[in-house]
């Protein structure tokens, strides 16, 4: 955790000096006033205010603030909780309007996750960067299970018909799920063709 001790004519001035050096807004720091300053002995000498400004977990805070701003701007009845480990920060969205943040096949959720990561990455010089993951009422897990079932079903079809199958265009993450589901299959293989956003997976006999 990074911290700065700064002085100023007032507490606010000292805090602002630290904020300028950190390059972050006020809500991303914790302030400890060491000396409020003011008049010194017999009121003849002004004492400087002294503050300790401690940088919070700016990766998480910047992501949380941005996500909250998006939800409020869209006037959605959506809340979230946060799970953390050493490498990731996961925001679990839930609420009446959460479907609007999922979008068609999770495209809105993926786009929002990308934007949140862009915002958070601006502060990586101040904190160890951790990848941000957005999920909505366990959507990603349910979608992954659906894709795995689809991959196995289509692999069986390819084996029976001896003809390759071309799937609909998918996001890079969804294509990865298909590839991984069949990577150890003894009789079929997968590869991707096309350009984004129309890139798709092909399942074929080996």
**Are 50 and 120 found together in one domain?**
no
On whether both 84 and 130 belong to a single domain, the answer is: yes
Q: How many alpha carbons lie under 13 Å from residue 120 in its C-beta half-sphere?
A: 25
Tell me, what CATH number does 114's domain have? Answer: 3.30.300.20
Distance from CA of residue 37 to its chain's centroid?
41
Q: Which residue has the tokens 């992501």?
A: 63
Q: What is the pLDDT of residues 96-143, one digit of tens each?
A: 999 999 998 898 999 999 999 999 998 877 777 899 999 999 999 999
> Do 173 and 124 belong to one domain?
no
Residues 11 and 63 both lie in one domain: no
In a shared domain, residues 100 and 131: yes
Q: Give pLDDT, residue 39.
A: 67
pLDDT 10s digits, 23-42: 777 877 888 888 888 766 55
The confidence score (pLDDT) of residue 43 equals 58
Question: How far is the C-alpha of 131 from the C-alpha of 118, rounded, in Å?
Answer: 10
- Prediction pTM value: 0.70
Q: Do 14 and 82 share a domain, yes or no?
A: no
Do 128 and 71 have their domain in common?
yes
Cα separation, 6 vs 13, in Å, equals 9
Please indicate, yes or no, whether residues 166 and 106 belong to a single structural domain of this protein. no
- pLDDT digits 0-9 by tens, 51-87: 888 877 888 988 999 999 999 999 999 999 999 998 9
**At residue 191, what are phi and psi to the nearest 5 degrees?**
-155, 165
Token code pair at residue 77: 């009845």
Specify the pLDDT at position 31: 86
- Residue 53's beta-bridge partner residues? 4, 31
- Counting the structural domains of the chain, the total is 3
Q: Which residue, chain included where needed, has tokens 């079932």?
A: 149
Q: Measured between alpha carbons, how far apart are the two ends of the chain, in Å?
A: 52
User: What residues make up the domain containing 13?
Assistant: 3-55
């Amino acid at each position: 955790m990074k911290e700065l001790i700064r002085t100023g004519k007032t507490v606010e001035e000292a805090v602002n000096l630290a904020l300028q050096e950190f390059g972050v807004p006020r809500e991303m720091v914790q302030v400890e006033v060491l000396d409020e300053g003011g008049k010194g002995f017999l009121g003849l000498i002004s004492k400087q205010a002294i503050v300790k400004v401690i940088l919070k977990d700016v990766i998480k805070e910047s992501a949380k603030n941005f996500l909250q701003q998006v939800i409020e701007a869209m006037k959605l009845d959506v809340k979230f909780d946060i799970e953390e480990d050493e490498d990731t920060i996961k925001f679990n969205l839930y609420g009446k309007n959460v479907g609007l943040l999922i979008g068609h096949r999770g495209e809105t959720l993926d786009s929002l996750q990308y934007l949140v990561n862009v915002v958070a990455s601006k502060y990586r010089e101040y904190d160890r960067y951790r990848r941000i993951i957005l999920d909505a009422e366990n959507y990603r897990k349910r979608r992954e299970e659906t894709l795995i079932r689809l991959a196995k079903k289509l692999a069986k079809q390819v084996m029976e018909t001896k003809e390759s199958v071309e799937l609909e265009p998918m996001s890079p993450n969804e294509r990865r799920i298909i590839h991984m589901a069949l990577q150890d299959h003894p009789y079929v293989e997968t590869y991707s063709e096309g350009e984004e956003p129309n890139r798709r997976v092909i399942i074929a006999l080996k």
